[in-house]
Amino acid sequence: MLSNPLAQRLVLEIMVRYSAELQLQPSLLSPVLEFFVGPSGIHSTEAHVQLRAWYLFERLLIKIQDSVATMAEQVLGAFVDLLRIDVPAPSISTTDTDSENNSEYDVIFDNQLFLFQSAGLLVASLQSTHFKAGERLLQSLKGSIDSRVHQQAQDSMTILLVHHNIMAIGDIAKGFDDSVIQSRRQFGPRLFSSTTETILRALLRFQDSSSVRDAV
């Protein structure tokens, strides 16, 4: 395992740049994916490495998606822990430090969306048309939205969670739609139908929130 963060980023960049070689040497596919989902890639403790890896991982999957079907569910399971959405608790303070923390969180979430796109690509690549892994992922996001829809309060944290979960669902769909596997894309409407209903309920519940509307 590489310990130098700069070297880790360089290796990740090289793997994406020369990903076409994986088509010629498929035996390299598994170790490349293991590196990406490991502590030198999307699970890095170095923020600048991790955030860059989230983007590069999505770019890699786009390039190799027709070769990853047999291990798609295993790969998805390796980063499901990164697909949880948390928002910072609101602060009564309005200091510059709070603004910086919120800005940092926004950057993290914006990059996290690449992971949801990656998840969509992997779900579309699954050999089974049951898409159980995709259904579980969508159910967790739907559940988060539904629980806020039935809350009485409409505080900023609630609205932000609804916004982020809708965005995440949209990026899963985006990854699914980017799939080159045409035979799987036809199952998209079936997979996302109940999720669409949940989003419509959220729009009605938070109809005065521009943030929720903008997420759709």
End-to-end CA distance of the chain: 41
Residue 79 belongs to some domain of the structure: no
Residue 74 belongs to some domain of the structure: no
How much of the chain, in percent, has pLDDT values that exceed 90?
61
pLDDT recorded at residue 183: 54
Same-domain pairing of 103 and 174: yes
Side chain identity at residue 44, one-letter code? S
Find tokens 């998805």 and name the residue: 76
Nearest-10 Cα torsion for 167, 172, 173, 179: 150
Give the count of domains, the chain.
Answer: 2
Residue 5 belongs to some domain of the structure: yes
pLDDT category of residue 32 using cuts at 50, 70 and 90: very high
Which pTM value belongs to this model? Answer: 0.90
Specify the DSSP element, H or E, that contains 139.
helix 132-149
How much of the chain, in percent, has pLDDT values that exceed 70?
87
pLDDT tens-digit series, residues 153-211: 788 899 999 999 999 999 998 877 766 655 565 667 778 888 999 999 999 999 989 99
pLDDT recorded at residue 92: 55
